[in-house]
Amino acid sequence: MSCKASLVIALLAAAACPVVHAEEGRPDPRAEIARKIQGVKAEDLRPSPIAGIYELARGADVAYVSSDGRYIIAGDLYDLDKDANLTEVRRRSVRLGLLGGVPESQMLIFGPKDARYTITVFTDIDCGYCRKLHSEIAEYNRLGIRVRYLFYPRSGPGTSSWAKAEGVWCSPNRNEALTRAKRGENVESTRCGSTPVAEHYALGREFGVRGTPAIVLADGELLPGYVPPALLAQRLREPRR
């Protein structure tokens, strides 16, 4: 089940509760909404651009709830005057906030720090298109694109892909080990205690990653799937919206 589906189901379940209408002098409507939705706090809700509608974000999944808790809107909100997808703007902001909590010391990075562009890629060592992307890493770098990797073993914890990711992290030369692993070579390494694989994986789920590679641009946009170096460079050169 997708994260958005889970969020909507939770909201629907909450909507089955008796409605308490907020009146003047009564508590903030957000408190009434939060009281009905398990795991949600009043501060998780914020006013949307539409009067009487509140926004609720769970990771990068966004839904909208009426101030009386009766109605749920699952979908993107557009401002036609500005030709803007306001929900996508919010999703990008959330992603950047989450990504900002990951220090680069907890990533695998290919390319110079002063590169013109930086992308962050959720990768799975056993994913065919992830391997294709990595096989062209030199071309991405040549085009001014610095690549920061986060692990996202699609098969989940306790699987071969997960163990490979941890093995790469525990290797003396992580970048070299990742390259070898993506070529299908065995990477032998001893356990090194804690690794960031679980944190990367949890972050990917919050981002709404459905498959790999998943490319996060500097403005928080999420591109699902492999994008060839030249095409990605062209996209990065285009004015951002």
Cβ neighbours, 10 Å, residue 108: 21
Q: Would you say 44 and 90 are in contact if contact means Cβ atoms under 8 Å apart?
A: no
Per-residue pLDDT band for 23 (boundaries 50, 70, 90) equals very low
Per-residue pLDDT band for 120 (boundaries 50, 70, 90) equals very high
Strands (E), the chain: 45-47, 53-58, 61-66, 72-73, 78-79, 84-85, 108-110, 117-123, 145-151, 214-216, 222-224
Give the tokens for residue 184.
């299908």
Q: Would you say 125 and 155 are in contact if contact means Cβ atoms under 8 Å apart?
A: no
Range 102-237 classified under CATH 2.40.50.140: no
Average pLDDT over residues 89-114: 96
Q: What are phi and psi of 144, to 5 degrees?
A: 85, 20
Domain boundaries, the chain: 3-75, 102-237
Distance CA 181, CA 58 (A): 34
Per-residue pLDDT band for 241 (boundaries 50, 70, 90) equals low
Please give the positions annotated as active site.
124, 127, 130, 154
Pairing state between β 78-79 and 53-58: unpaired
The helix/strand/coil state of 204 is: helix
- Give tens-digit pLDDT for 139-193: 999 999 999 999 999 999 999 999 999 999 999 999 999 999 999 999 877 778 8
Distance CA 52, CA 98 (A): 28
Asked whether the predicted pLDDT for residue 22 surpasses 50, the reply is no
* pLDDT at residue 27, as a whole number: 66
Could you tell me which residue, 32 or 46, shows the higher pLDDT? 46
Lowest mean pLDDT of 5-14, 20-29, 82-91, 215-224, name the range. Answer: 5-14
* pLDDT at residue 94, as a whole number: 94
Provide the mean pLDDT of the chain: 88
Q: Would you say 119 and 82 are in contact if contact means Cβ atoms under 8 Å apart?
A: no
Per-residue burial over 10-20, b if 16 or more Cβ lie within 10 Å, else e, is bbeebbeeeeb
Pairing state between β 108-110 and 145-151: antiparallel
Strands (E), 105-204: 108-110, 117-123, 145-151
Q: Would you say 57 and 94 are in contact if contact means Cβ atoms under 8 Å apart?
A: yes
Average pLDDT over residues 224-228: 97
Could you tell me which residue, 108 or 187, shows the higher pLDDT? 108
* pLDDT at residue 164, as a whole number: 95
Per-residue pLDDT band for 41 (boundaries 50, 70, 90) equals confident
